[in-house]
Structure 1
């Protein structure tokens, strides 16, 4: 076996010399490196996006489903390509996953991950115009076409809560077209529409005259003060409300219940009145005022009365019964005429 350091086995050729790299070679190498780096900057993000994936449940906003609606990560050039027809407004449908995969294969867009889904549920978005908006449109049309006050009428629509379905991008107020109204039967019919009849629904119903009434919110005992918080103003059919129903709470300030008022009942005239300022059996001050004369003495009320009411009082000194007018809490007034009748034999400046 030859020895690694034996002179007889040494290579007789002189050792090779390494020539240094010139400036041109270094420049070309640098340019090549920069070109590769720039290429990587464009390709790496694309690789990071990963493959296309099938979306889960989808909401369609138009008549057609595009590739981007169904597939996550679809190429930008093909994202808006129409793929399938969307369900009807407000409806829900399904698309088999294999059909989407087959459509992509036909477009030669590459593989797609389905995530194990067998189908995709698609719901069509819609603007829903409910009974409240429909009724408001009919009331506006009644006011414009027949002179009825839209604030005092309501429309009881036929059927079970009719709803107009319209595209979500169809803005604007609902209008009622082709309106017909019979004042005798109060029947109404018309076409409610959005846009220039882009979405429409024919409806019918009965016009009901309304009025505002005060509704009692809680049970109020007799003699208890009634405040604005105890009442609510509601619109009720005029034919079902009592003729003497109260329609305002502004005049009830400081009044008290004249009987027990139950929650949910309609407040009627006479249910409330100003409180009694004089109670039966209460000690009162009897005053007599006339030009040049002002007298006051003690008395006792035999009747209860509110401000301005006429009550009987007993003069404590003379034990005579006088008719007096309630002028304040525990205070009644008698005039010259009653005094003359009650005390005709007494001096004019004496009250007993």
Structure 2
């Protein structure tokens, strides 16, 4: 039993020693992030030499082939005399990248404007460059581009911006214009006058901030439940002046006229001469006396007067 244990221990020692002394094994293809390719990038079992640089990586977003002769020359310079080539004649080396395009850079500009309070509430910004921007393959970083400076002129909407892009030696300068807009309520269909507006009567569409300031717009929640003042067409921008509080009593409606004093309530039939929203005054014809009186709309088909009951003939 002791002999068997000794043999097993010896085999384990030989195997572990062999594993520790195993030559690095060349990979067939590698993807790197940094601008320098290291031994650890190129080989399995790189050991203590893993962090040693071998050669420059290709540009971000590109791929190159390194032949075996160049690899042997590079490893010799750092003291790596032997490795397992694994039957390879060359290694494919790719450099990871992050795409920096107009969308990303525009987002950085918009974010900066929001942090300054220029884009308050629901204001939106559309960035238009003065010249086209070809997408840039930047270094693969969590933040591949940063806004360095931004100069914005609200009067004409022009801007100039400088960005720092990972992997570019020089800063990137861009210019153009920024169009500010807000979403406004437009009618989804043709509607007659007096329609009490509901959420499904609207579609939200962007309009320029200048147009919104000039014409005046109202939040959607202020328009829902209001009545159209006139017949309106599909696509019309709805402004506060286009709506009013819905009529509780419309012109020519037959109504009950109420007069209350203490526990006594007197009523008489009448007809609205004008329309009115709830709790607002209107003119009503007393159908008994044929006199027009002033009353207040209190509910559909009901109005209330505050004058003495003697004005209500027949009560």
* TM-score, normalised via structure 2 length: 0.69
CA deviation profile, 1:165-215 (whole Å, cap 9, x unmatched): 6544475993433x55567655332323379x977321112354x464433
Contact 2:23 2:45 in 1 (8 A): no
Contact 2:252 2:271 in 1 (8 A): yes
Measured in 2, the distance between the counterparts of 1:247 and 1:94 equals: 59
> Which consecutive residues of structure 1, in runs of 5 or more, have no partner in the other structure?
1-25, 340-346
Measured in 2, the distance between the counterparts of 1:298 and 1:81 equals: 102
Give the aligned partner of residue 313 of structure 2. Answer: 351
Q: 2:172 is matched with which residue: 201, 204, 227?
A: 201
CA deviation profile, 1:247-277 (whole Å, cap 9, x unmatched): 42343353244545636x5432233332221
Query: Which one has the largest radius of gyration?
Result: 1
CA distance change for structure 1 residues 38 and 51 in 2, over 3 Å: closer, same or farther? same
Give the aligned partner of residue 126 of structure 1. Answer: 98
CA distance change for structure 1 residues 102 and 229 in 2, over 3 Å: closer, same or farther? farther
CA distance change for structure 1 residues 285 and 186 in 2, over 3 Å: closer, same or farther? same
CA distance change for structure 1 residues 45 and 272 in 2, over 3 Å: closer, same or farther? farther
CA distance change for structure 1 residues 189 and 32 in 2, over 3 Å: closer, same or farther? same
Give the aligned partner of residue 25 of structure 2. Answer: 52
CA deviation profile, 1:277-308 (whole Å, cap 9, x unmatched): 12454331112468998532122335544335
State the SS of the aligned residue for 1:176: strand
Are 1:316 and 2:290 an aligned pair? no
Counterparts of 1:71-110 in structure 2, within 5 Å, are: 71=43, 73-89=44-60, 91-96=61-66, 98=68, 107-110=81-84
Contact 2:191 2:232 in 1 (8 A): yes
Give the aligned partner of residue 225 of structure 1. Answer: 197
Contact 2:284 2:294 in 1 (8 A): yes
> Which consecutive residues of structure 2, in runs of 5 or more, have no partner in the other structure?
none
Shift of 1:110: 2.1
Are 1:63 and 2:25 an aligned pair? no
Are 1:149 and 2:118 an aligned pair? yes
Q: 2:110 is matched with which residue: 108, 131, 136?
A: 136
CA deviation profile, 1:291-349 (whole Å, cap 9, x unmatched): 9985321223355443355545443334555454423222223454xx9xxxxxxx935
Give the aligned partner of residue 4 of structure 1. Answer: none
CA deviation profile, 1:62-87 (whole Å, cap 9, x unmatched): 1112243344x243234333334223
Matched length: 301
State the SS of the aligned residue for 1:243: helix
Measured in 2, the distance between the counterparts of 1:161 and 1:277 equals: 59
Contact 2:128 2:177 in 1 (8 A): yes
Contact 2:254 2:301 in 1 (8 A): yes
Q: Whose relative contact order is higher, 1 or 2, with alpha carbons under 8 Å and at least 6 apart?
A: 2
Contact 1:226 1:256 in 2 (8 A): no
State the SS of the aligned residue for 1:246: coil
CA distance change for structure 1 residues 183 and 274 in 2, over 3 Å: closer, same or farther? closer
CA distance change for structure 1 residues 97 and 171 in 2, over 3 Å: closer, same or farther? same
Measured in 1, the distance between the counterparts of 2:6 and 2:266 equals: 122
CA distance change for structure 1 residues 41 and 102 in 2, over 3 Å: closer, same or farther? closer
State the SS of the aligned residue for 1:270: helix
